[in-house]
Structure 1
């Protein structure tokens, strides 16, 4: 394939990741006409359209997805080589692309902060999204490392637990209903649940299936913070990770003693087996795995 360059692949990757020519031009410090010209050149080289616009958003064609996978592999290998050469030269630089599910934002920043202080010259890109969004990024090979509580089941995925993630049943601080009970004793209580697709909801649904329990008319809220505040204000009960309660007053939230809880799970460091990790990404993964589970 003639004239296919690192720069063309980099521009295409930034357009896809940023969702627009404008975002790519800002990220790469290029003019928008230059980015558009690079895209046109790449499409001409491939011989097929790579992008299409639908409802104001950029979407990859099948050919675009193939080129994007190539860009990820080539640029990742290039970054790995660069960091290895720099390490040999005694320079600790490089980049780290980290993506985490929303609940992990309570644990990732302190870990990332400690790592950045120890490695100040490493360029870090940190993305947070719901489980479906981060699973899609993993599928597209967009990041070095992912943090999941419920890793996708895929033979190309490598997942290693590094920290406990227990789910508990919580109630308002002034709650006087059933406690030291089973989930069935709470069947008449209003529950506030995460949306389908979140890791927390997946774990809760699996537990309820095993227990033969069904929530009655639950309220769906797509944010841990909103659920926590709603419980504190008396809207109902919820099942959340203990990590989301770390900075909450015990007067606002009460953890109920329910049979089968806390639900035990773990946070996992997730990588793709076919993606070579840079020295920076390898060091960060190792820093997580060296942590003692809570």
Structure 2
């Protein structure tokens, strides 16, 4: 099995078609199609079921895709390690950061890293936790900011621990209390992050443990928009305390959320057992230096 044909197949699945995959691997669509066909012939079973203009993974295709992603990531690790052995003087650091908390937690780290290692090319991507985990699993990034606990596939270094606060309209009947539980808020509509964000899952899991399903009236990826919705009286939103404190509004009140299992544990995660380049190891060392003991 050649890595060339395996990468072509993986990119067809990842990009959702042959034409987009061809752009990713810098080849013609015909070349990509032939590579996938060669891989199917070598394995002896179809990997894609062609339905009209769409291609759907077969059962065998799902297995080859899942294993192929890991094989290609391991190959990239091998090549990176060989480059280090050959005395690579410059490098690249690929960081995946979540929208929630990145500016507060990681911007100062990023600036210090650039100051210490000006020759390193730092490549940043910003996504929700689910997409960052997939990118990390595929070896597309070296590190991802994520809430823990996370998958056993990953190691992590804690960066910050914060309780959540409930943001409610200034007219809410619970205003004046120091803290609230989710049960206290069960009759209040919820404004949550979109489903790809870890905080979405944290709040819903806690509601399930508390024995109710919340009335979700809005979902967004934009913190400021969510706060505006709270101020307009639409419902309650939830943010880490340090982030909420930076966005105070006269029409919104902050109530500490006294709910087990909802503490915000932001960490820097990486693939367990993966080779870390000198650039990546330097970033991890800096995170540990700044947040030692967190």
| TM-score bracket for this pair, using the shorter chain length | 0.7 to 0.9
Shift of the 277–176 alpha-carbon distance from structure 1 to 2, 3 Å rule, reads same
CA distance in 2, matches of 1:35, 1:44: 14
Q: Deviations over 1:197-223 (max 9, x none)?
A: 74223333454456x464663424143
Query: CA offset at residue 99 of structure 1?
Result: 4.3
Distance 1:274 1:262, change over 3 A: closer
Give the whole-Å Cα distance in 2 for the aligned partners of 1:54 and 1:244.
47
| Aligned residue in 1 for 2:79 | 82
Distance 1:53 1:144 in 2: 34
1:164 is paired with a residue of what secondary structure?
strand
Indicate if the aligned counterparts of 1:194 and 1:221 stay in contact, CA closer than 8 A. Answer: yes
- Counterpart in the other structure of 2:221: 223
C-alpha separation between the residues in 2 aligned to 1:220 and 1:59? 32
Q: Which runs of 5+ in 2 are unaligned?
A: none
Residues 261 and 50 of structure 1: CA distance in aligned 2, closer, same or farther (over 3 Å): closer
1:289 corresponds in structure 2 to 288
In the alignment, what sits opposite 1:201?
A: 200
Structure 1 residues 186 and 222, CA, compared in 2 at 3 Å: closer, same or farther?
same
1:234 equivalent in structure 2: 233
- Change in Cα spacing, 1:121 to 1:270, as seen in structure 2 (3 Å) is closer
Counterpart for residue 39 of structure 2: 42
Q: How does 1:53-64 map onto structure 2 within 5 Å?
A: 58-64=55-61
**Whole-Å separation in 2 of the counterparts to 1:37 and 1:67:** 17
Give the 3-state SS of the residue equivalent to 1:189 in structure 2: coil
Structure 1 residue corresponding to 2:144, chosen from 143, 146, 156? 146
Q: Does 2:5 correspond to 1:8?
A: yes
- Cα offset, 1:49, TM superposition: 2.0
Residue 93 of structure 1 is matched in structure 2 by 91
Which consecutive unaligned segments of at least 5 residues does structure 1 have?
Answer: none
- Please identify, of 7-16 and 103-112, the stretch whose mean Cα deviation from structure 2 is larger: 103-112
Q: Which residue of 2 aligns with 1:272?
A: 271
Q: Deviation per CA, 1:79-131: give whole Å up to 9, x if none.
A: 334333433424222463x4455536556762556546735554736251353
Structure 1 segment 123-162 matched on structure 2, within 5 A: 124=123, 126=125, 128-131=127-130, 133-135=131-133, 143-154=141-152, 156-162=153-159
- 2:237 is paired with a residue whose SS is strand
Q: How big is the alpha-carbon RMSD for the aligned residues of Structure 1 and Structure 2?
A: 3.9
Q: Distance in 1 between matches of 2:126 and 2:241?
A: 22
Q: Which residue of 1 aligns with 2:17?
A: 20
Q: Map of 1:228-267 to 2, 5 A cutoff?
A: 228-242=227-241, 244-245=243-244, 248-251=247-250, 253-257=252-256, 259-260=258-259, 263-267=262-266
Whole-angstrom CA distance in 2 between matches of 1:249 and 1:282: 37
Structure 2-normalised TM-score?
0.74
TM-score by length of 1: 0.74
In 1, the alpha carbon distance for the partners of 2:14 and 2:111 equals 24
C-alpha distance in 2 between matches for 1:14 and 1:107: 35
Whole-angstrom CA distance in 2 between matches of 1:7 and 1:252: 57
Distance in 2 between residues matched to 1:59 and 1:112, nearest whole Å: 41
Taking the aligned partners of 2:222 and 2:52, their CA distance within structure 1 comes to 29
Map 1:95-114 to 2 at 5 A. 96=94, 98-101=95-98, 103=100, 106=103, 110=107, 111=109
